[in-house]
Every structure is written in C-alpha cells, then in structure tokens.
Amino acid sequence: MSVDLATVKRVARLARIAVSEDEANRMVGELNGILGFVEQLSEVNVDGVEAMTSVTPMAMKKRTDEVTDGNKPADVVANAPVTDHNFFLVPKVVE
C-alpha cells in the first residue's frame, strides 16, 4: 500500500489541518515509509504467541463483590435541599 499526494491532501483536509505543498510532498515519503514498516510486521511469524496487555506481567487487584450501602448515608444526602430518612426528596414531575 502506498500514499500519493492527493491522498495526503485529502486526509489533511478531512482532519482540518493546513498543509502546504512542500509539507504534503514531504509527508508522502514519510507516510510511505511508515506503511512500509507496518507491512514488514506481516512477515513476522506470531503462531503460538500469546497476546499481551502489558510489557510486564501483572495480576489484577481484586476484591470481593459485596453489596453495601457505603456506610455513609448521612454524608451522601448532606448537600441535598430536602431529605427524608436518608432519601432524596424531589418534586413530582409525572402526573
């Protein structure tokens, strides 16, 4: 795959980036170089290689999934204009 001058100008216009003629000509070569490196990656044999999520192996920190009220009901409703027994009171909006 290769990029031509028209493609660079079109992508720049879609990205709303002002690109001069000289910059566009330089980008053609740079983008073709990048795409060449990406094409080289398809030559690498990755059969049997596990997918990575990080360069260093790590275990996720886990905690038990327990349902609680947070033990702070008064703090939760502290800034509410009107409350009743730790519940928010709101005006009726549906008849």
CATH of the domain at 17: 1.10.20
> Has residue 34 been placed in a domain?
yes
With 90 as the cut, is the pLDDT of residue 54 above it? no
For 57-76, write each residue's pLDDT tens digit. 888 889 888 888 788 888 99
With 90 as the cut, is the pLDDT of residue 80 above it? yes
> Has residue 24 been placed in a domain?
yes
| Contact call for residues 37 and 56 (beta carbons, < 8 A) | no
> Has residue 60 been placed in a domain?
no
Greatest CA separation found in the chain?
70
For 2-44, write each residue's pLDDT tens digit. 899 999 999 999 999 999 999 999 999 999 999 999 999 889 9
What total number of domains does the chain contain?
Answer: 1
> Has residue 31 been placed in a domain?
yes
Domain that holds residue 22: 5-41
pTM over 0.75: no
